[in-house]
Amino acid sequence: MKTALEILDAIRRGEATVYEVVSTFLETIEEKESIHNAFINIYPEEALERAVRLDEERPEHLPPLYGLPVAVKDNIAVRGMELTCASRILLGFESPYSATVVKRLERAGAIILGKTNMDEFAMGSTNENSYFGPARNAIDPDYVAGGSSGGSAVAVALGEAPVSLGSDTGGSIRQPAAFNGIVGLKPTYGRISRYGLVSFASSLDQIGPMGRTVEDVALVYSVIAGYDPKDSTSADVPVEPFSEYLNDPQDMTIGVDMGILGEADEEIVRGFYEVIAFLRSEGYRIREVEIPYFRYSVPVYHIVASSEASSNLARYDGVRYGYRAEAEHLEEMYYRTRTEGFGQEVKRRILVGTFSLSYGYKNEYYLRASRIRRLMKEGVLGLLDEVDVILVPSVPVFPWKIGEHPDLIGKVYKADYYTIFANLTGIPALSIPVGGGKFPVSVQLMGRHFDEKSLFRLGRRIFHAFNII
């Protein structure tokens, strides 16, 4: 399989037309979708029509993603395409506008192939919580793909798309990237516009790119990052050009918290130590640190995220759009619509969030979690004054078989143990595969706000030391 950069180079050199490139990926989708279920909706006619136009209108100076096919998670709006969030409650809803990230991709010459499978409303770590059935792991379809951006990860890993977009609220890009052996970025909060992303937990959600290499992810990031006046949480901070991300990393100090490794499988810990040994051999300083309040990440996350979800999902009532249950009066219609329209995991989180915000419990749960979250952020900012990046595993466990339904706290929620902290503190994090057995080991780099550049530079060095592309 060719990387995104190799595909773009072939188009620029005239070795392949855009139509040929798009046709090849559509053929791969047709071949593999019946097994892996990575897409909810595919738009072949629209993709081929755009490919023909790009070939006919080919300008002298091609924009950075000219002719590159992209898969988009189905909680990101694309005008004229169905937007379901993998939920029954939004069946048939066609988006009247495109998200800012989609507009930026298309202005750069990209072609949207379709919308990828996901856990319903991005709530889950397996992609089993989809109304359309689970996306299946690209390495072994009997195993979970990870979530919630499971379809986006599987599509890239199978070669159904060279790159994809996902969203990350507690690890939903990095965890499925790790489960499928690809690269995934959760950017700094405010770095990439959330306009057009269906909200799950607004203070945590971020859109990010997924790809087979660090360079591919960095290229897409360089196109979609930047200030957007349509998003009130967007930060007006300059974005470096793509060429800046390809430089070799300079002298760096890397922080490692050995105290959190006890949560990970032995093989993952061994792979993690191999990465540390490589970095030491390359002359980087490894400093043992303690990531502040890290062990509280999972409970704090589930209180904050569920509380925000309870508020955000109140809009799905059957009145304005989406699924509406038949009923004799309004109150019954509300009740039946939400009961029939939402899946079990979504209803569970709405109930947890409503309880956490309720009178008499808000101080005990939501406000206490918010205070701990503030301490986390203050602590990690102090830590990142002492080290350049923090290195942790991406996930503590390998994928398990679809349908095993392990205990939520014991395995499913635990799968996000290493990823949640970056969402709670708003810092960027990059997941990188580093080899292994049947399922790859992945490590994660976390860095300073708006310093994705350092993550790409060091991540690229690590990626090419452990992967042959």
Residue of 73, 186, 377, 414 marked catalytic: 73
Helices 4-13 and 214-224 pack at an angle, to 10 degrees, of 70
442 noted as active-site residue: no
| Residue burial 294-305, b: 16+ Cβ < 10 Å; e: rest | bebbbbbbbbbb
Q: Tokens at residue 249, please?
A: 């990393």
Are the C-beta atoms of 452 and 428 separated by less than 8 Å?
yes
82 φ, ψ (degrees, to nearest 5): -65, 140
Strands 163-168, 206-211: parallel, antiparallel or unpaired by DSSP?
A: antiparallel
Q: Which of 172, 193, 306, 394 is catalytic?
A: 172
Beta bridge partners of 256: 288, 391
Amino acid at 265: D
Q: Which residues of 207-222 are buried (b: 16+ CB within 10 A; e: fewer)?
A: bbbbbbbbbbbbbbbb
Contacts of 264 (CB under 8 A, 6+ apart): 272, 393, 395, 396, 397, 418
Decide: 127 and 117 in contact? Cβ < 8 Å: yes
Is the peptide bond preceding residue 167 cis, with omega within 30 degrees of 0?
Answer: no
DSSP H or E segment with residue 206: strand 206-211
As a whole number of angstroms, the distance between CA 199 and CA 206 comes to 10
Q: For the chain, how far is it from start to end, CA to CA, in angstroms?
A: 9
| Residue whose entry in the numeric block shows the structure tokens 């993998």 | 86
Q: Is 73 a catalytic residue?
A: yes
Nearest to 161 by CA among 42, 52, 13: 42
C-alpha–C-alpha distance, residues 453 and 212, integer Å: 18
Q: Is 115 a catalytic residue?
A: no
Q: Is residue 29 helix, strand or coil?
A: helix
Catalytic residue among 87, 125, 130, 148: 148
Residue 324, Cα to own-chain centre: how many angstroms?
30
Residues tagged active-site: 73, 148, 172
